[in-house]
Amino acid sequence: MASRTLCCVALVPIALVTPRIAVAQAADATVTVEQGAVESFHADVCGHYGVSRADVVVIKAKKVSDEELPVVFLIARKASSTDGRIIVTPVSVAEMRLSGKSWMEIALHFRLTAEVFHVELARDPGPPHGKAWGHFKNRPRGEWGQIRLADDEVVQLVNVKFLAERRGCAPETVISLRAREASFVSLAVKLEKPKGSPGQGKGNGPDGSAGAAMRHDPKLPLHAERKGQGGGKGQGKRK
């Protein structure tokens, strides 16, 4: 009788530990999947905007979230002149964000309006993206400069445009699928990549990226801005 009791007591810890191991293994698997999605998203950002992984690491260190990365690189590209006389670096944009400025305030600082965030849609997508899109729908194009978007609206619009261009699909497709995903990061993994390429979407560079014009000048500090002798911003922004 005593031996049976000891046997039962010995089995109890095993029964308790086994579920804990299973839960821990499941948690590790989830973390691995999420990390893979983040790395894939970062690779898409690098390819689309023509920046390096090191650039992404530097921007992330400025407390910029993954979904905000495309916003940083888009503003830096749009604020830089096409002739290279004015270069606004991603770090300078991220540092302004870190100082507490909204995305619209940063855009306006570089003489950009809400139009740079606009996404052309064939139909009203409904909430939550419909609200951001409605700002443009309800105003004539000549008044878009008066639009003031909230931070979350800027992030939504930029990521829809980014993933649509990167994956070569309609913005409406991105919006529809986003409703089923927790974030744009997880959505990027689910979206089908363009045929004939392991992950390259639209871009001007040979690898589908934004091209060399967006890449940082190695002769300059990563946070520097280079201006021509005229110092003006009338040289034209990137389209």
Confirm if 38 and 66 have CB atoms less than 8 A apart.
Answer: yes
Per-residue pLDDT of 43-64, as tens digits, reads: 999 999 999 999 999 999 999 9
pTM beyond 0.95: the answer is no
pLDDT at 34 (0 to 100): 81
pLDDT at 25 (0 to 100): 41
Per-residue pLDDT of 12-35, as tens digits, reads: 455 555 555 444 444 343 445 588
Among 2-6, 121-125, 187-191, 232-236, the minimum mean pLDDT is found in 232-236
| Top-confidence residue, 28 or 137 | 137
Per-residue pLDDT of 89-108, as tens digits, reads: 999 999 999 999 999 999 99
Q: Give the mean model confidence (pLDDT) for residues 53-79.
A: 97
Residue 219 reports pLDDT greater than 70:
no
How many C-alpha atoms does 29 have within 13 Å on its Cβ side? 6
User: Whole-number mean pLDDT of the chain?
Assistant: 77
Residue ranges per structural domain of the chain: 31-214
pLDDT at 131 (0 to 100): 81
Q: Checking phi first, is residue 224 left (phi over 0); if not, alpha (psi -120 to 50) or beta?
A: beta
Q: What residues contact 214, with CB distance under 8 A and at least 6 apart?
A: 49, 50, 51, 73, 76, 77, 80
pLDDT at 49 (0 to 100): 96
